[in-house]
């Protein structure tokens, strides 16, 4: 049970995942405490999205365990994962909006699933969430009519509208202009400060990492290569990490 406050909200132990013939994760350990924002960095294709999908049990590990608020979710059957998933929200890399629904219906969906029936309350919460991502007025649009960045923000709004205690963000600012990115970074920070949301943020955006991260995890070759604070990351002299931060490809000129 979620007993002591020291129990990490998210705990990943020795997680391994094989997809096809490829060992994507080769033993990842991760702990995120309540109210903390953990930023996950790593090269494209190194398994960041796969890691997030394990935390919300969309994928099953080959071996290893995932615990949410101290409760192991690794072996739970789908129907019992319902309660866990109510606590954890996920923003998909592709936004994954329901394309048969309008923006408003997309946002109302998680609320209705939580049993909220009052249309006034739903309307209020939807408007509030759209306001957060600066998309008021887009309620009746269909997802295919939105730009990539707008879709991302609607996805973000759909993730936060149900007020999960824990949010997994898969590249929240990719494809957004610098100003919108900044407002998303502030939003992530605000959610954490105000309602003490626990988050994992996968990103390629160093601004997001430095702005939002309490702790930083760097994935490399299926393992946690570095774990520490923002300052420790900045101070690192490891070439794998400095190349990544400064965006050097490592090819000699």
Ligand X SMILES: Nc1ncnc2c1ncn2[C@@H]1O[C@H](COP(=O)(O)OP(=O)(O)OP(=O)(O)O)[C@@H](O)[C@H]1O
Footprint of ligand X (CB under 6 A): 19-20, 22, 24, 42, 44-50, 93
Which partner, another protein, ligand X, Mg ion, none, binds residue 113 by CB below 5 to 8 Å per kind?
another protein
- Binding mask of the shown chain, residues 207 to 246, with x at each position contacting another protein by CB under 8 A: ----------------------------------------
One of 68, 90, 107, 138 touching another protein (CB under 8 A): 90
Sites for another protein among residues 135-164 (CB under 8 A): 162
Residue 116's Cβ-count burial label (10 Å; 0-12, 13-18, 19+) is: middle
Only one of the segments 14-22, 25-33, 96-104, 231-239 lies at the binding site for another protein (rule: CB under 8 A); that segment is 96-104
Alpha carbons within 13 angstroms on the beta-carbon side of residue 32 total: 30
Write out the binding residues for Mg ion, residues 74-93 only, by CB under 5 A.
93
C-alpha span between 196 and 193 (Å, rounded) = 5
Distance CA 143, CA 147 (A): 8
Half-sphere exposure (Cβ direction) of 93: Cα atoms closer than 13 Å: 12
Q: CB of 201 within 8 A of CB of 212?
A: yes
Which of ligand X, another protein, Mg ion, none does residue 56 bind (CB under 5 to 8 Å by kind)? another protein
Buried b or exposed e, range 202-224, using 16+ CB within 10 angstroms: bbbbbebbbbbbebbbbbbebeb
**65 near another protein, rule: CB under 8 A:** no
**Residue 86 contact partner, candidates Mg ion, another protein, ligand X, none, CB within 5 to 8 A by sort of partner:** another protein
Site string for another protein, 112-131 (x = CB under 8 A): -x------------------
Q: How far is the CB of 151 from ligand X (least distance, A)?
A: 16
152: enclosing H helix or E strand: helix 148-161
d(CA 3, CA 5): 7
Report the interface residues with another protein, using CB under 8 A.
53, 56, 58, 78-79, 81-83, 85-86, 88-90, 92, 94, 96-99, 109-110, 113, 162
């Amino acid at each position: 049970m979620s007993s002591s406050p020291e129990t990490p909200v998210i705990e990943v132990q020795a997680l391994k995942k094989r997809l096809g013939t490829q060992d994507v994760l080769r033993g990842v350990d991760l702990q995120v405490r309540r109210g903390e924002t953990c930023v996950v960095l790593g090269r494209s294709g190194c398994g960041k999205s796969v890691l997030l999908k394990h935390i919300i049990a969309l994928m099953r590990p080959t071996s290893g365990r995932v615990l949410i608020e101290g409760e192991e979710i690794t072996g739970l059957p789908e129907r019992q994962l319902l309660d866990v998933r109510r606590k954890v929200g996920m923003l998909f890399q592709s936004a994954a909006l329901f394309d048969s629904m309008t923006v408003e219906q997309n946002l109302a969906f998680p609320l209705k699933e939580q049993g909220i029936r009052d249309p006034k309350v739903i309307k209020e919460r939807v408007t509030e969430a759209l306001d957060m991502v600066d998309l008021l007025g887009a309620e009746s649009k269909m997802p295919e009519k939105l730009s990539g960045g707008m879709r991302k923000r609607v996805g973000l709004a759909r993730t936060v509208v149900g007020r999960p205690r824990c949010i997994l963000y898969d590249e929240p600012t990719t494809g957004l202009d610098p100003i919108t990115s900044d407002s998303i970074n502030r939003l992530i920070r605000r959610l954490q400060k105000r309602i003490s949301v626990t988050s994992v943020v996968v990103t390629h955006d160093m601004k997001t990492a430095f702005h939002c991260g309490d702790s930083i995890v760097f994935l490399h070759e299926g393992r946690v290569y570095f774990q520490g604070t923002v300052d420790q990351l900045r101070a690192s002299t490891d070439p794998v990490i400095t190349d990544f931060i400064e965006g050097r490809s490592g090819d000699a000129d």
